[in-house]
């Protein structure tokens, strides 16, 4: 018998589960708790997601698509490259600030294959989008004409090291602060005098 899929109900499950996972991690969050919080039966929950790992994967797949859309809108806008970088800092800070650091650690330890998938998507997203911004900034003479591939590697390696469960859980920095300082340090190394003048006039997220 074919299972009837209610997309509105499935979306409600994803939204609720994201809130639960992002606030307290997912390892100790049970399918029973999610079903009870949504006032649905476990059978209804399992109709859409055969296990918790599938639910976690879909929650993050949706979150990643949202981030792709937001970042893509920034990159394709008519702003200069420095303004676009500052807009990216705002987007990353606001969307990652409410994610409990424990969630990333849970994923590394308990679902390493999901963490690896997310990390690879994150890396590819940064390569694609940041590469375009760096090229734009060089054409606008806002960024020093360093080799784009080297700049990208430095940016991505730094961001992946800082926005990382081990670093965040063992440091005093919140994710949004870590992102803000990392971008400020990295941008400071590639801005021309003209680019620096623009950057000083822009407001970074608090």
Query: Which residues span the domain enclosing 180?
Result: 53-201
Residue among 98, 3, 12 at smallest CA distance from 55: 12
Contacts 24+ apart (CB under 8 A), 196-200: 198/80, 198/82, 198/83, 198/142, 199/82, 199/86
Residue 188 in domain: yes
Confidence class for position 90, pLDDT limits 50, 70, 90: confident
CATH number at residue 59: 1.10.357.10
Confidence of residue 24 (pLDDT cuts 50, 70, 90): confident
Element (H, E) at 170: none
Task: Answer yes or no: is 149 within a domain.
Answer: yes
Q: Judge whether residue 3 has pLDDT over 60.
A: no
In this structure, is residue 136 part of a structural domain? yes
Residue 131 lies in a domain: yes
**Residue 4's pLDDT band (boundaries 50, 70, 90)?**
low
d(CA 117, CA 94): 23
pLDDT confidence of residue 205: 55
91 pLDDT tier (thresholds 50, 70, 90): confident
Question: 191 has which bridge partners?
Answer: 143
- The answer to whether position 105 is within a domain reads yes
Q: Residue 2: is it exposed, middle or buried by C-beta count within 10 angstroms (0-12/13-18/19+)?
A: exposed
**Residue 143 β-bridge partners:** 191
Confidence class for position 73, pLDDT limits 50, 70, 90: very high
Task: Note whether residue 80 is domain-resident.
Answer: yes
Q: What was the pLDDT predicted at 6?
A: 77
Q: How far apart are CA 198 and CA 191, in angstroms?
A: 10
Residue 93 lies in a domain: yes
CA distance 175 to 9: 32
| Number of compact structural domains in the chain | 1
pLDDT at 122: 76
Residue 63 lies in a domain: yes
Mean of pLDDT values over 132-136: 94
Cα–chain-centroid distance for residue 120? 12
Handedness of CA 196, 198, 200, 202 (dihedral sign): negative
């Amino acid at each position: 018998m074919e299972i009837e899929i209610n997309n509105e109900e499935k979306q409600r499950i994803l939204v609720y589960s994201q809130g639960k996972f992002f606030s307290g991690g997912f390892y100790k969050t049970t399918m029973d708790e999610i079903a009870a919080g949504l006032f649905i039966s476990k059978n209804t929950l399992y109709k859409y997601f055969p296990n918790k790992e599938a639910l976690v994967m879909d929650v993050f797949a949706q979150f990643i698509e949202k981030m792709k859309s937001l970042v893509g809108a920034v990159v394709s806008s008519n702003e200069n490259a420095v303004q676009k970088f500052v807009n990216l800092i705002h987007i990353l800070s606001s969307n990652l600030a409410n994610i409990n650091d424990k969630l990333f650690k849970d994923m590394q330890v308990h679902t390493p294959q999901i963490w690896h998938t997310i990390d690879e998507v994150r890396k590819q997203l940064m390569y694609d989008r940041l590469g375009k911004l760096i090229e734009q900034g060089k054409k606008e003479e806002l960024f020093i004409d360093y080799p784009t591939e080297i700049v990208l590697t430095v940016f991505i390696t730094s961001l992946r090291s800082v926005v990382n469960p081990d670093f965040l859980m063992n440091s005093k920095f919140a994710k949004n602060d870590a992102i803000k300082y990392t971008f400020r340090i990295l941008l400071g190394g590639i801005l021309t005098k003209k680019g620096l003048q623009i950057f000083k006039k822009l407001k970074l997220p608090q």
